[in-house]
Copies of this chain bind each other. A is one copy, B any other.
Amino acid sequence: MNMREDALRIVEEAIQAVYPENAVKKALENLESEGNIRVLAIGKAAWRMARAARESLENRVSEGIVITKYKHSMGNIEGFEIFEAGHPIPDKDTIQATKRVLDMVKDLKGGDLLLFLVSGGGSSLFELPAENVELEDLISITDQLLRSGATILEINAVRKHLSRVKGGHFAETVHPARIFSLVLSDVIGDRLDTIASGPAYPDFTTSQDALRIIEKYDIKLPSRVLNALKKETPKSLENVEARIVGSISIACEAAQVAAEQLGYNSMILTTTLDCEAREAGPFLSAIAREIVSRDRPVKRPCVIILGGETVVHVKGRGLGGRNQELALSAARGIRGLNNVVIASVATDGTDGPTDAAGGIVDGETMTRLGEKGIDVAEVLNNNDSYHALEAVGNLLRTGPTGTNVSDLIILLCK
Contact = CB atoms under 8 A, between A and B. Distances in A.
Given A249-B294, A294-B249, A287 B275 contact: no
Interface string A326-344: 0000000100000000000
Interface string A274-286: 1110011111001
10 contacts: A189-B289, A268-B296, A270-B287, A270-B290, A271-B290, A272-B289, A272-B290, A274-B333, A275-B283, A286-B308
A273 interface: yes
A316 interface: no
Nearest to A281: B275
6 tightest Cβ-Cβ pairs between the two chains A and B = A279-B279, A275-B282, A270-B286, A270-B290, A275-B279, A273-B286
Nearest to A288: B270
A269 interface: yes
A278 to B, nearest CB: 8
A267 interface: yes
A344 B44 CA distance: 42
A297 interface: yes
Interface residues of A, number: 27
A365 B372 CA distance: 47
Given A270-B289, A272-B290, 10 more contacts: A267-B297, A269-B290, A269-B297, A272-B286, A275-B280, A275-B286, A279-B279, A279-B280, A279-B283, A297-B297
A315 to B, nearest CB: 13
Given A249-B294, A279-B279, A280-B279, A286 B267 contact: no
A273 B287 CA distance: 8
Contacts of A272: 286, 289-290
Given A276-B276, A279-B279, A279-B280, A268 B297 contact: yes
A370 to B, nearest CB: 13
Nearest to A271: B290
Interface in A284-339: 286-287, 289-290, 293-294, 296-297, 308, 333
